[in-house]
Amino acid sequence: MSATWEQLEGAALSLARAGSIKDRLADAFRNHLAQVNAEELPETLRAQLRACTEALTRERPLQGEDAVRATVRKMSSHEADEIACSLVRLYGEFARESALHSEALPNVVMNGAVVNGASTTRPKKGVPQVISLYAHEA
């Protein structure tokens, strides 16, 4: 289950990085979601993963590309955005399901404090770190 958690987290982090949505989506799928076995997900989330996989591999590739690249190339930015949102939701729902079933999740650092992913206590809100974008305000 930890490998599934890590792959879903990696996909979400790939989507959060800089770059075009289509490139981030292809990277998230190729490097993370393709390694997720749907059978390791709770039954309620398997259909979501399969739908995302089908949405990202539906086109026939041209020579020198894979199905993901062909599909992402043909989709609109809006459609890519919708699929990316679905993947982030899948990650969030997996985290909630795992916490509900008391499965051990890796520790996460939030606001400088280590928080156990399966903990039922909420992390304390910290003061956000604000960095000025203007030199004269620094």
Q: What is the pLDDT of residues 52-61, one digit of tens each?
A: 999 999 999 9
- Give, as one character, the DSSP assignment of residue 116: E
Nearest to 8 by CA among 123, 102, 38: 38
Average pLDDT score over residue span 106-130: 53
Q: Whole-angstrom distance between the N-terminal and C-terminal Cα of the chain?
A: 45
Phi then psi for residue 30, to 5 deg, are -60, -45
Q: What is the pTM of this model?
A: 0.69
CA distance 22 to 26: 6
pLDDT digits (tens, 9 = 90+) for 72-99: 999 999 999 999 999 999 999 998 887 7
Could you tell me the two tokens for 85?
């949102």
- The whole-number pLDDT of residue 35 equals 93
Share of the chain above pLDDT 90, in %: 59
pLDDT digits (tens, 9 = 90+) for 7-65: 999 999 999 999 999 999 999 999 999 999 889 888 889 999 999 999 999 999 999 99
In the chain, where the domains are located: 2-137
